[in-house]
Structure 1
């Protein structure tokens, strides 16, 4: 297997910059490199198919783009988008939590620790907005990246800027810091950060890109996607349960009673008044209610007294039903992906069973057919030719060498063959499977190939029927016929157990093995020994048969007398 290429040519962009090596220059150069398109970005080769194309894009960015504009496939973009993806999820959860669970009634509005955390998230979101003005974008055809600030700004202002900006302005912190008690303005300040929810799709896409660094598995990507959706959905639904009370509080200044009767307390006066319960109690109880809804138990055990609360519950039930349908489809898709080869194998076996039933196979034959398919496919069916045909010759060679490595170590005959010839020879080996008592080679037939035993056991019988020996893993047979002028087999080979062999046709046998002096001598020596043993066994078998025949004649004469 070839090692990864390490280029020794100088393709660094330093040639295009000044030679002065001051600290400011080094820092500026590092920043500039971080903003360039990088081969280490997981999506780079989805758009640029070669290193040359990536280098050309780097040069175009340097000479035609504005200074310090960030390429969307740069390392800076990768790391920053990954960080912002996590922060956006926290922003979406924290903003809804602050709105629905932190109620200052009957005290005046004041700052909480959650407000400080929200301030931190919103300041980073504002920084992200500034960075977006300096990040290039793909045109619709994905054939070109725009790296000019004017075009970037026009596009950003036209599409996503207002959502990003309004959800990032720390208006709630400003109102609380200035001491404003206008609750309706506070409600607006709490609602604006909820606009961040619109960025959920792009957030998950950025998380997918980060996950590609660690794995390309479809199941991992989809599982992470679904888990994030489930966690965010559960959190939002838990918050959504309290919206009638929260909106009434911020609109009128008072907390209505009679809502959220699933909150239970030993204090009768506390029932129906959410301010009598701690934030932890309210959140955990709401989470339990939403979990019961998502998993099918519903709200039937909870009494609803108000129309607006009934609408909220109905929306949650409807969303939960749709989400669980989506979950079932997702799980089915994961199952189909994971066990696709097993499902296809079962389909193949059903076809084979229907065929045998139509042809009225006897039970012993059916059993042998099933045994063959079980052994050959190991309960997983795939089209090997279709998998290998699209690969390059080098990859196919590596795969063959990997799959046949243990087999090569077993076969003593092939020792001493050059590595490149071994790889070529392996590509001409054809795998075959035989069940117990299957006839592989018949004595007297014309031999046009040689067999190598990968695993299994075969019995060798002479032309007259004498059992000569057993051959096992790593042994070979059929070479004697290749050396005979008439190319006839001198022995019959029968499988003793399920046996996997590799067949090598005569033309490749002569091309790769007989052309090697050491291997040819090894073959001739072993063939001569086998022929000698076969002749001796045949002679001994003939004498035993004659003696047995004479004994039978004597017994017959005695019985006649």
Structure 2
């Protein structure tokens, strides 16, 4: 380097602005009284543009330009954080380290822990994301391409929403939704499909981490070779972790789908063994057909006051009471009887396309087995003789009930 260039570099480094005007310490004019003045000044300066920020050398190369930026910040956007402040720099460094650690560990947490454990383990993560969202909406925007800074709230909001807002929101939203009762009603199979997408989508934030790596390199003065080697190593590890988790999620989804049907059938067969055997119209059905009927049962929940069957409506299914009490009433709402655990009603709908002749209303919370007419006919379509016997039996009972007006617990509605 020539002697002239060395002298010019030394002059630039030691230069102090001598332009006429206000003193360098602009903050003292805005915070000049009250409690803890020095502390408040230091805290405010921490959120203002700093000459120690790597990008400040490009955006504001002179002290006079720095002073102008400070005045503009204090006068027009006092409550916001400057994107070239030390607070913004240190928070970016913290968030980058935090996200890298989170990205490397979260797949194992989601794969090896239960939902209840995740609520506690992920609490610091959720708090960090929530704080990040608040800070992002309060921090100005620095455009490296145009070398411009905007501290307008509207520009800040638009920039964040267009970039990482929805990713940050989706990162802790599932944990919040788990606390809502409605979330618990979503089938586990749907959650099993949604969760991997929510978890993997947040890895898009890693591209922000790569930009922050360069900021860290410039601030600490790391060599370009060390920076590139570190970035490559972290990226490879990240890809391996994410790839293993995606593979695990796919295998788990396939296995769950393959075994869900089998487990459901076995549970239904075990839990409904005695229910269908107590139904008089099914007593002559062979065991292998009863087994098919039990597999095709579904469960429904009714709360007190819910109308399960309404008189005059067309029936399409019968019900068996697992737990609970129902009230059977006539069309004029006169109670005929009450049915409890192990009873059944609505069997007439299995073979006859007629209107219901009674109301059935839940008295207590009820869990019922439901057998639909379409499934019943499908199972017995190759056994016309058995179906005919059941159909005749049901028709006789319905006619007898209507003729004698005897709608007791043995009647078929």
With the shorter chain as reference, the TM-score category is: 0.5 to 0.7
RMSD (Å) for aligned C-alpha atoms: 3.3
Distance 2:224 2:105 in 1: 30
Establish whether residue 228 from structure 1 lines up as the match of residue 240 from structure 2. no
**1:323-363 CA distances to partner (integer Å, 9 max, x unpaired)?**
xxxxxxxxxxxxxxxxxxxxxxxxxxxxxxxxxxxxxxxxx
Match of 1:60 in 2: 72
Match of 2:172 in 1: 168
Match of 1:20 in 2: 33
Give the total of aligned pairs. 246
Distance 2:253 2:75 in 1: 55
User: Gaps (5+ residues) in structure 1?
Assistant: 104-108, 257-561
Match of 2:246 in 1: 240
Q: Secondary structure at the match of 1:138?
A: strand
* C-alpha distance 140-233 of structure 1, shift in aligned 2 (>3 A): closer
Distance 1:60 1:244 in 2: 53
Match of 1:88 in 2: 99
Distance 1:255 1:126 in 2: 40
Match of 2:331 in 1: none
- The match for 1:192 among 169, 188, 198 is 198
Distance 1:71 1:252 in 2: 54
* C-alpha distance 173-19 of structure 1, shift in aligned 2 (>3 A): closer
* C-alpha distance 238-12 of structure 1, shift in aligned 2 (>3 A): same
Q: How does 1:472-487 map to 2 (within 5 A)?
A: none
- The match for 1:211 among 208, 217, 233 is 217
Q: How does 1:26-425 map to 2 (within 5 A)?
A: 26-64=38-76, 66-99=77-110, 101-102=111-112, 109-112=114-117, 115-139=119-143, 142-169=146-173, 171-172=174-175, 174-175=177-178, 180=184, 182-184=187-189, 186-187=191-192, 188-189=194-195, 191-248=197-254, 254=260
* C-alpha distance 164-173 of structure 1, shift in aligned 2 (>3 A): closer
* CA positional deviation for 1:12: 1.0
**TM-score of the superposition, structure 2-length normalised?**
0.52
Q: How does 1:522-541 map to 2 (within 5 A)?
A: none
* C-alpha distance 7-76 of structure 1, shift in aligned 2 (>3 A): same
* C-alpha distance 55-216 of structure 1, shift in aligned 2 (>3 A): farther
* CA positional deviation for 1:128: 0.4
Moved more, 88-97 or 118-127: 88-97
* CA positional deviation for 1:37: 0.8
**TM-score of the superposition, structure 1-length normalised?**
0.39
- Higher relative contact order, structure no. (Cα contacts within 8 Å, ≥ 6 residues apart): 2
Instruction: Report the structure number with the largest CA radius of gyration.
Output: 1
Contact 1:71 1:136 in 2 (8 A): yes
* C-alpha distance 80-121 of structure 1, shift in aligned 2 (>3 A): same
* CA positional deviation for 1:35: 1.2
Q: Secondary structure at the match of 2:219?
A: coil
Distance 1:11 1:221 in 2: 36
User: Gaps (5+ residues) in structure 2?
Assistant: 1-6, 263-413
Q: Secondary structure at the match of 1:42?
A: coil
* C-alpha distance 132-81 of structure 1, shift in aligned 2 (>3 A): same
* CA positional deviation for 1:249: 5.5
